[in-house]
């Protein structure tokens, strides 16, 4: 990425992922804006901006992961503060967009919380959203403002291609459920290997049961691909099934968002998964880090995207991450 003067840009961070915000700022050669995000004694969130943002292009970096509601409110209040401080434009950089799985009515009287969150972020005063790997692509349409949607798969695919070398025939990409088939198919095309699918029936929330394996994984090294790992039930059940029923040699899992809630860590520890490759869109606490985890950075991609948005350049070429790695964009 070219070094440029960003005289009219301000980068700010809330509390969800300050390390990622600092990495992005360092790559861009700018300082993070001076702001304090804290809580009053009664739990209300307090935001103070300690420098002028008048007529500036402001980028607020905040994932809305755990604690989801606190992080969402921090973002909303900072967006409102920027609007009232006469910022020229307000860009919400949300590497992980919480509530994304509540994107439709699965049963009668369900809310569509992903749409509600889009509405309140827009109402707060955001002019643009920059995010990565929404759970469903159609969530982009929930916003009435521009959404730049980055894809994490090319980063994961670049890592796997380097690991595979010239042995692509030994590998197969497996979708852990029917909802991830398109994502897995695209991933398989990127790294040049076959595709298999696990047909899973979910009995209730956060509990999954593996049913059938569609495709051939016998004697293969399996790459399980999903957009996130939450409780890891789907992933671990898929890994066990693909080895026991499918005859796979070993299993590597790739996912963008490391939500890792509830029993996820224990399940991954006990699972036959050899390696879990994740992106750092949300921070992983030290007590949840495992030797199995390989964490890849997203800061270079977000830094490039922010520069392109600021410079009025297209963001879509970043999806060709292999060219991005070679500096060809």
* Nearest alpha carbon to residue 92 among 301, 305, 322: 305
Residues 150/130, Cβ–Cβ less than 8 Å:
yes
| 247, part of any domain | yes
d(CA 17, CA 96): 10
* Assigned token pair, 27: 């790559």
Pair 237, 309 in one domain: no
Task: Please indicate, yes or no, if residue 203 is contained in any of the structural domains.
Answer: yes
10 Å Cβ neighbour count for 162?
Answer: 8
Q: Residue 204: what pLDDT?
A: 63
Q: Is residue 2 part of a domain?
A: no
For residue 228, tell me if it sits in a domain.
yes
Q: Is residue 3 part of a domain?
A: no
Q: Which residues lie closer than 8 Å to 200 by C-beta, 6 or more apart?
A: 176, 177, 178, 208, 209, 210, 211, 234, 237, 238
The predicted pLDDT at position 202 comes to 56
Q: Is the domain of 118 the same as that of 159? A: no
| pLDDT at res. 178 | 84
The contacts of residue 166 (CB under 8 Å, 6+ apart) are none
200 is catalytic: yes
Question: What confidence score (pLDDT) does residue 24 get?
Answer: 98
* Cα–Cα dist 149/273, whole Å: 29
- What is the rounded distance in angstroms from the CA atom of residue 64 to the CA atom of residue 52? 26
| 88 plus 207 within the same structural domain | no
303 and 288 assigned to the same domain: no
* Dist. CA 46–CA 297, nearest whole Å: 30
Percent of the chain with pLDDT over 90: 84
Catalytic residue (one of 83, 200, 204, 269): 200
pLDDT at residue 179 in the model: 83
What is the model's pLDDT at position 1? 45
Strand partners, 224: 174, 253
Successive 10-residue mean pLDDT values, the chain, 329 residues:
71 98 97 97 97 98 97 98 98 98 94 98 98 95 97 93 90 90 93 89 59 88 96 92 92 97 96 97 96 96 96 85 52
H-helix or E-strand spanning residue 275? strand 273-279
Tokens representing 189? 């095309």
């Amino acid at each position: 990425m070219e070094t440029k003067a960003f005289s009219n840009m301000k980068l700010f961070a809330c509390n969800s992922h300050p390390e990622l915000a600092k990495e992005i700022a360092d790559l861009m050669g700018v300082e993070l804006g001076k702001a304090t995000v804290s809580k009053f004694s009664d739990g209300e969130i307090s935001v103070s901006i300690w420098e002028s943002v008048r007529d500036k292009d402001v980028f607020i970096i905040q994932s809305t992961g755990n604690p989801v509601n606190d992080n969402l409110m921090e973002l909303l209040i900072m967006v409102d503060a920027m609007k009232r401080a006469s910022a020229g434009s307000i860009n919400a950089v949300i590497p992980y967009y919480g509530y994304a799985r509540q994107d439709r009515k699965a049963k009668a009287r369900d809310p569509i919380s992903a749409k509600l969150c889009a509405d309140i972020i827009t109402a707060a005063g955001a002019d643009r959203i920059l995010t990565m790997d929404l759970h469903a692509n159609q969530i982009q349409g929930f916003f009435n403002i521009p959404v730049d949607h980055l894809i994490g798969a090319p980063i994961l695919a670049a890592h796997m291609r380097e690991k595979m070398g010239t042995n692509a025939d030994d590998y197969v990409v497996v979708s852990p459920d029917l909802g991830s088939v398109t994502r897995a198919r695209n991933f398989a095309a990127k790294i040049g290997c076959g595709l298999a699918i696990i047909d899973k029936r979910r009995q209730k929330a956060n509990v999954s049961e593996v049913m059938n394996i569609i495709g051939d994984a016998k004697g293969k090294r399996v790459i399980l691909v999903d957009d996130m790992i939450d409780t890891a039930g789907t992933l671990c059940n898929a890994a066990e099934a693909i080895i026991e029923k499918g005859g796979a040699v070993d299993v590597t899992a790739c996912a963008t968002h490391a939500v890792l809630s509830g029993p996820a860590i224990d399940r991954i520890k006990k699972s036959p998964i050899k390696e879990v490759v994740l992106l750092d869109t949300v921070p992983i606490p030290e007590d949840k880090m495992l030797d199995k985890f390989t964490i890849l950075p997203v800061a270079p991609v977000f830094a490039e995207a922010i520069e392109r948005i600021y410079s009025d350049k297209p963001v879509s070429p970043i999806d060709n991450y292999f060219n991005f790695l070679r500096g060809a964009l």
